[in-house]
Amino acid sequence: MVKKGPPMQQMTEGGKVSTVLGKETAFSGVLEFQRPLQINGRFEGEIITEGILLIGEGAVVKANIKAGTVVVGGEVTGNIEARQKLEMLSSGRVYGNVKTAKLQIADGVVFDGNCEMIEDSDKTAAKAAR
C-alpha cells in the first residue's frame, strides 16, 4: 500500500513552516505573522504578513490577504495581494481579485476574479537602493 503524503510540504523557500492551524481549527480576526504559516482549517478576517502563507488542501479562508508569498491549495474567498508570488495548486479555489508580481496556476484551479500584475517588492527595493 502506498502511503499518501501531506497535501503541502512543510518546507518553503523561506524555511520550515513554524505554525500550522490544524484541520479542526476555526479562527477569526486579524492574523499578523512573520515566519511561514500554514492554514489547514477555517479562518475568517484579515491576514497581513511580509512572509509566506500556505493554505492547505481542504482549508477554507474568507479573508483579504496581504502577504509576501501565498500558496493556495484550499479555498480562498477574498482579495489577495502577494507582493512576491502567488501560487495556486491544482486543488485551489480563489474567489476574489489578485495582485501579484509572479503568478503560477496549476491545471484544475478554479479562479473567479481579476488579476493585476505588479512589480516585485524585492526589485522595487533594489531600485530604490541604487
Rounded mean pLDDT, 59-88: 98
Whether the predicted pLDDT of 87 surpasses 80? yes
What are the pLDDT digits (tens) for 101-122? 999 999 999 999 999 999 876 6
Predicted structure pTM score? 0.83
Average per-residue pLDDT for the chain: 87
What are the pLDDT digits (tens) for 42-57? 999 999 999 999 999 9
Hey, what long-range contacts does 10-19 have (CB within 8 A, 24 or more apart)?
10/38, 12/36, 12/52, 12/54, 12/69, 12/71, 13/52, 13/69, 14/51, 14/52, 14/68, 14/69, 17/54
Rounded mean pLDDT, 95-99: 98
Share above pLDDT 70 across residues of the chain, in percent, rounded to a whole number:
81
Q: What local confidence, expressed as pLDDT, does residue 120 receive?
A: 78
Q: Report the 3 state secondary structure along the chain.
A: CCCCCCCCCCEECCEECCEEECCCCEEEEEEEECCCEEECCEEEEEEEECCEEEECCCCEEEEEEEEEEEEECCEEECCEEEEEEEEECCCCEEECCEEECCEEECCCCEEECCEEECCCHHHHHHHHHC
